[in-house]
Amino acid sequence: MQIEGKNQVWQALNSGLTINKIMIDVNYSKRKDDIVALARKNKVRVDFVPKQALDRKSTTSHHQGYIADAVEFEYTPLEKLLASAGENPFFVLLDGIEDPHNFGAIIRSCECAGVDGIIIPKNRACQVNDTVVRTSTGAISNMKIAQVVNLKEAIDALKDMGVWVFAAETGGEDIYSKKLNMPIAVIIGSEGDGVKKSIKERCDGVLTLPLKGKVNSLNASVACGIVIFEILRQREN
Give me the pLDDT at residue 33, please. 87
Cα–Cα distance measured from residue 123 to residue 170, given in angstroms and rounded to the nearest whole number: 25
Per DSSP, the three-state class of 182 is coil
Residue ending a domain, choose from 45, 70, 95: 70
Specify whether 35 is located in the same domain as 113: no
pLDDT along the chain (237 residues), means of 10: 87 83 91 89 94 92 91 92 94 96 96 97 91 83 93 96 96 95 96 91 96 89 97 94
Is residue 118 within 8 Å of residue 110, measured between CB atoms? yes
Instruction: Let me know if 72 is exposed, middle or buried by CB neighbors in 10 A (0-12, 13-18, 19+).
Output: exposed
Give me the pLDDT at residue 15, please. 73
Q: Considering only CA atoms, which of 90, 79, 86, 227 is closest in space to residue 147? A: 79
Find the domain containing 87 and state its range. 78-236
Per DSSP, the three-state class of 104 is helix
Specify whether 57 is located in the same domain as 89: no
Specify whether 51 is located in the same domain as 109: no
Question: pLDDT tens digits for 137-189?
Answer: 778 888 999 999 999 999 999 999 999 999 999 999 999 999 999 999 999 99
Please give the angle made by the CA atoms of 187, 196 and 80, to the nearest 5 degrees. Answer: 40
The string over 218-230, giving b where at least 16 C-beta atoms fall within 10 Å of a residue's C-beta and e elsewhere, is: bebbebbbebbeb
Cα–Cα distance measured from residue 215 to residue 222, given in angstroms and rounded to the nearest whole number: 14
Instruction: Give the CATH number for residue 136.
Output: 3.40.1280.10
Specify whether 34 is located in the same domain as 137: no
Instruction: Give the CATH number for residue 56.
Output: 3.30.1330.30
Q: Is the alpha carbon torsion for 9, 15, 16, 17 positive or negative?
A: negative
* Helix or strand (DSSP H, E) at 190: none
Radius of gyration of the chain (CA): 20
Give me the pLDDT at residue 72, please. 86
Residue 237, amino acid: N
Cα–Cα distance measured from residue 4 to residue 71, given in angstroms and rounded to the nearest whole number: 14
Q: How many domains does the chain have?
A: 2
Cα–Cα distance measured from residue 33 to residue 63, given in angstroms and rounded to the nearest whole number: 16
